């Protein structure tokens, strides 16, 4: 049953990803991306990462994409339906780059079976000891406290930079 749901949500995610990069209106593109993020959140649930799924819906679909929607409305871009594809050279470069990435990724999947031989009981043990939120919070505030503080600093810098750039005449 969960396999079936996985395939359903994976195909929704891929379809909406294609919709995101092909639709002409930015608003339609954004709505496709919202649906793709919701189905990714469902896939997180199927993988047992319930807290990440909730954060995905609240932070990504609820905050970041709404920020994009505000900017689209602010700039009044919703009715610009001209095709905006780049010219031939760029498309060839894009296909080349995507093919190269796909080639290296598929080769590394074939060549590194050690990637899949980790420590499978570690996840279940951590979740069983504390709950799913505690299992994430414990390493975050113990082992990764310095990256955590640095990320807070990064957010502060981003806020200040965004305010300065949006206010001042450049």
Partner 1 sequence: MVTPTLVLAVILFGLGVAGVVFRRNAIILFLCVELMLNAVNLAFVALSRVWGIEGQVFVFFVMTVAAAEAAVGLALIIAIFRHRESVDAMDFNLLRW
Does residue number 151 form part of the binding site for partner 1 (CB under 8 A)?
yes
**In the window 114-143, what residues touch partner 1 (CB under 8 A)?**
115-120, 122-123, 126-127, 135-136, 139-140, 143
Does residue number 12 form part of the binding site for partner 1 (CB under 8 A)?
no
In our burial notation (b when 16+ CB lie closer than 10 A, e otherwise), range 134-156 reads ebbeeeeeeeeeeeeeeeeeeee
In our burial notation (b when 16+ CB lie closer than 10 A, e otherwise), range 62-98 reads eeebeeebeebeeeeeeeeeeeeeeeeeeeeeeeeee
Minimum CB separation of residue 10 from partner 1 in Å reads 5
Residue matched to tokens 């594809």: 85
Residue matched to tokens 């002409």: 24
The C-alpha atoms of residue 67 and residue 34 are separated, in whole angstroms, by 12
Does residue number 78 form part of the binding site for partner 1 (CB under 8 A)?
no
Does residue number 144 form part of the binding site for partner 1 (CB under 8 A)?
yes
Tell me, rounded to whole angstroms, the distance of Cα 44 from its chain centroid: 12
**In the window 82-111, what residues touch partner 1 (CB under 8 A)?**
84-86, 90-91, 93-94, 97-98, 101-102, 105-106, 109
Does residue number 112 form part of the binding site for partner 1 (CB under 8 A)?
no
**In the window 21-50, what residues touch partner 1 (CB under 8 A)?**
21, 26, 29-30, 33, 36-37, 40, 43-44, 46-49
Minimum CB separation of residue 111 from partner 1 in Å reads 14
């Amino acid at each position: 049953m969960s396999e079936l749901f996985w395939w359903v949500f994976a195909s929704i995610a891929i379809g909406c990803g294609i919709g995101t990069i092909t639709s002409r209106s930015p608003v339609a593109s954004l709505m496709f991306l919202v649906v793709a993020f919701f189905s990714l959140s469902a896939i997180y649930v199927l993988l047992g990462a319930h807290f990440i799924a909730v954060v995905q819906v609240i932070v990504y679909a609820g905050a970041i994409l709404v920020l994009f929607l505000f900017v689209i409305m602010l700039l009044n871009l919703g009715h610009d339906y001209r095709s905006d594809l780049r010219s031939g050279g760029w498309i060839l470069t894009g296909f080349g780059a995507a093919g190269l990435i796909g080639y290296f990724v598929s080769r590394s999947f074939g060549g590194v079976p050690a990637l899949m031989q980790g420590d499978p009981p570690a996840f279940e043990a951590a979740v069983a000891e504390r709950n799913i939120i505690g299992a994430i919070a414990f390493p975050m505030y113990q082992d990764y406290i310095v990256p955590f503080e640095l990320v807070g600093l990064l957010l502060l810098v981003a806020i200040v930079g965004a305010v300065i750039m949006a206010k001042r005449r450049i």
